[in-house]
Amino acid sequence: MSTIVLQLFIAGRTPRTDNAIATLRQLVDEHLSGYPCELVIVDVLTDPQQAEDRQILATPTLIKESPSPQRRIIGDLDDADGLLAALNLPPPPPAS
């Protein structure tokens, strides 16, 4: 499987963005630990060009870059299982 690349766009550090980051880190650590995965966090306040290039209109926005197809989720990122389904990511690998 190719590397799973997730980009999270946030606007500064707030309780909402901290929660989104924690949920995604949990998702990567617990659900995607058996897969090569890269989580990139972009603060649009410090890197507005990236937000413009990616047409980010609201935060938080999560983009699954790869594997294809690309998916975007805007807003509530509290439900790790819902994120897995919405992003069309593989289920956790079986425990050995």
Could you tell me the CATH number of the domain that includes residue 53? Answer: 3.40.30.10
How high is the pLDDT of residue 56? 94
How high is the pLDDT of residue 92? 61
84, two tokens? 């897995």
Quote the number of domains for the chain: 1
Q: In angstroms, how far is CA 74 from the centroid of its own chain?
A: 10
| Whether the Cβ atoms of residue 79 and residue 88 lie closer than 8 Å to each other | no
How high is the pLDDT of residue 40? 95
How high is the pLDDT of residue 83? 86
Please give the model's pTM, rounded to 2 decimal places.
0.86
- Is 23 within a domain? yes
Domain interval for residue 50: 4-86
- Is 96 within a domain? no
| Whether the Cβ atoms of residue 44 and residue 7 lie closer than 8 Å to each other | no
- Is 18 within a domain? yes
Q: Please identify every stretch of the chain with a pLDDT value under 50, giving residue numbers as ranges.
A: none
Helix count (H) and strand count (E) of the chain?
3, 4
Helices (H), 1-96: 15-26, 48-53, 80-86
How high is the pLDDT of residue 1? 63
